[in-house]
Amino acid sequence: MAESSEINLSGKKALVTGASGGIGKHIAIALAKRGAQVVVHYGGNAEAAEEVQQEIEKQGGEAICVQADLTQADQIEKLYDDAEDAVGTLDIVINNAGVPGGSLLTDLDLETVDSLIDVNFRAVALSLQQAGKRLNDGGAIVNISSMLGTRPLPGTSVYSATKAAVDVLSKMAAREFGERQISVNSLSPGATLPGMFGRGTAEKQQAFADATPLKRLGKAEDIAEMAVFLVSEPGRWINGSVVTADGGYSV
């Protein structure tokens, strides 16, 4: 595998959803560090998104912030319109935005189910629809999934199901977009900080670290470097895959 520090994405235009914090923030920064011009999508936290943009610019990169409510189909289309207006036709899309939530099946409430499906699945499907129509030939798409999509834990039923669905979407999109040389993969993190797992207790975090062969939790930078590789030329032959990045937890 090529050193990710040597990867050159100069001239590439990238959209990262949910890039105002957590894993998305670090993916946006990592792409910009390799020369990509990055559209930093955010849902509601404009200040956090602007901080990501400023950090990228301080490092000599280029970024612009674009707001969209991914629960609204027309806003997903507008997100792509705004991104193209700002930077031109996209080469890279990282579908990172997601929401946590869940309970035991017997305790599910409809509001949580709808929220998880709307953001974690429906928004990804509609984003892929736009990306499939709009990306430059030879582009790359990475959908941020979760190890819970293949190894669900009690209390994560619907969340895990949405991430499993994202893995299937990635495989089908790879089939459908392949004629245009567009690669599509799922990147499936394990317990990672900062990220959704940061909402867990210190005891829960330590238990996951202890259960991982490397005896630590993942860092957002770990996932960002994998995303960079998957959209780069050295990573082009990986396509239609679910790439697990969990430090060996699932072994």
Catalytic pick from 42, 80, 159, 249? 159
On whether the CB atoms of residues 27 and 19 are closer than 8 A, the answer is: yes
H or E stretch at 142: strand 140-144
Q: Is 159 a catalytic residue?
A: yes
Question: Which 8-state DSSP code applies to residue 116?
Answer: H
Residues in the chain: 251
Q: How far apart are CA 104 and CA 96, in angstroms?
A: 25
Q: How far apart are CA 216 and CA 13, in angstroms?
A: 33
- Coil, strand or helix at 89: coil
Helix (H), strand (E) counts: the chain: 8, 9
The residues assigned a catalytic role are: 159
